[in-house]
Structure 1
Amino acid sequence: MYVYLDESGDLGFGQRSTKYFTIAFVVMKNPVIFKRCVRKVKEKYSIPSNAELKGSVTNKNIKQDLLRRLAALDIEVHAITVEKKNVETKLQKNTNILYNYMVGLSLVERILEEPKDATVIINVDRRITSVTSGFNLDHYLMYKIWYEKERRDINLAIHQLDSHQALSIQGIDVVCNSIFRKYSSKNYELFNIIQDKIRSDRHLFFSK
């Protein structure tokens, strides 16, 4: 199983911070086809190979094209979004714990569904919050799955990729941002394209 993970928004709690923060990941068996979709879109719109597709800035028509292609693949998308204004003070001061909690509720739960002796290869953007803040995602996942959940039969590998070189990371960036926009700006246009592939879309600390 191959996993590509990214995030949208930020985990700051200042006045200029985003109101929501989303972690999303895509699960697939064949990453080659996923990468090919991203490559074809970049070629179609004459986007240089060293230029990134970014959910936050890429032209909407290009994102729509990519999402339609990805929606035709055998993939599953998972996401978890936190409404930050409702996060308790202790977690606001310890955002690594909040990040852990979100990963535990989403990615860890999905990995545990895998059969005995499964191999899970997780790829993340080198610039994501968990990496830049010094949080060791590798150790956290290994501890949760191998020891806390006692699934030492699962073979885990975690890779940090540079998004400007990794087509797959650019793809999940667009997917993640389309989910984030659903909450941050109530814009469902991109989300609706990929909706049928979304297996879980969890809410954390949302207002009732």
Structure 2
Amino acid sequence: MWYLYLDESGDLGFDFVNKKPSRFFTISILALSSQSANKQLINAVKKTLKRKLNRKKNKKRFIHELKGSSTALEVKKYFYDQVKNIKFGIYSITLNKKRVFEQLTKEKDRVYNFIAKQVLDAIPFEKADETRIELIVDKSKGKMGARGFNEYIKKQLGARINPKTPLDIYHWDSQNTHGLQASDLFCWGIFQKYERRKEDWYKIYKDKTNFESLYLA
């Protein structure tokens, strides 16, 4: 079983005159190729939440998930210490939004799907060999958007994946999906590398990054 957790950082706003959208948009996939590795990753997220963020019994605010944007670097380091020996890889592409053609700025779903497909293209699916693939996406799209994404991705990957290899795509809430929380942490680090030119977190797990690129540099 392959597990692919897809998350994004930044936004797809393009009005740089009247608003303040992010300059970059990052999509990352955290990929694991075994059930045991997936279980270890999930347990690491749970352990980090329990031991670092929800330790006090009488704490009024219970934190349900790890978020790249709000989790302290110290906690991220603790989390990485739990997962650094797990076999997984990170694949990521960051879009330079200011270089996107004006016509496409009005077709955000199309841009999102295209970047996601580019990230998936970097993953060696040829090694899956009839092993079921689960692509878990952070639930941010409506029904129509999710359906369009699923159809596009399955069509684009059809030529690369063995016809006998099942491909399931799920859109799940990150609060209840620990793998997505882990993906969010890593995705945020790559996004910050471009948006803020901060690499303190990214440098810690850089060796786990199998593919990382800037699109429309």
Identity of aligned pairs, percent?
26
1:143-181 Cα deviation digits (max 9, x unpaired):
1122x5574332101112211111111111111101111
Q: Residue 35 of structure 1: CA displacement?
A: 0.5
Residue 118 of structure 2 is aligned with which of 105, 116, 128?
105
Please say if 1:19 is aligned against 2:23.
Answer: yes
* Residue 115 (structure 1) shift: 3.9
Separation of aligned partners in 1, 2:188 and 2:203: 13
- Alignment of 1:83 with 2:96, yes or no, is yes
Aligned match of 2:58: none
Map residues 35-74 of structure 1 onto 2, 5 A cutoff.
35-47=42-54, 51-74=64-87
Uncovered stretches (5+) of structure 2, i.e. residues with no partner: 55-60
Question: TM-score normalised to the size of structure 1?
Answer: 0.88
In structure 1, C-alpha distance between the alignment counterparts of 2:46 and 2:192, rounded to whole Å: 24
- Asked if the contact 1:124/1:160 (under 8 Å) is kept, the reply is yes
Pick aligned residue for 1:93 from 96, 106, 111:
106
Alignment of 1:93-172 (within 5 A): 93-110=106-123, 112-127=125-140, 130-131=141-142, 134-135=145-146, 136-146=148-158, 149=160, 151-172=162-183
- 2:164 counterpart letter in structure 1: D
Cα deviation for residue 46 of structure 1 reads 3.9
**TM-fit CA distance, 1:59:** 1.8
TM-score, normalised by the number of residues in structure 2: 0.85
Q: CA contact under 8 A between 1:68 and 1:193: conserved in structure 2?
A: no
Deviation sequence 1:118-141 (CA, Å, 0-9, x none): 3111111112xx558825322112
2:199 aligned with 1:198: no
Alignment length, in residue pairs? 203
The one-letter code matched in structure 2 to 1:142 is: K
Q: Which one has the largest radius of gyration? A: 2
8 Å contact kept, 1:22–1:80: yes
> Root-mean-square deviation (CA), in Å?
2.1
Whether the aligned pair in 2 keeps the contact of 1:108 and 1:144 (CA below 8 Å) is no
Q: In 2, distance between residues paired with 1:150 and 1:2?
A: 15
Q: Distance in 2 between matches of 1:14 and 1:133?
A: 24
Contact 1:111 1:120 in 2 (8 A): no
Amino acid at match of 1:169: L
Q: Which amino acid aligns with 2:171?
A: Q
Q: Contact 2:6–2:183 at 8 Å: present in 1 too?
A: yes
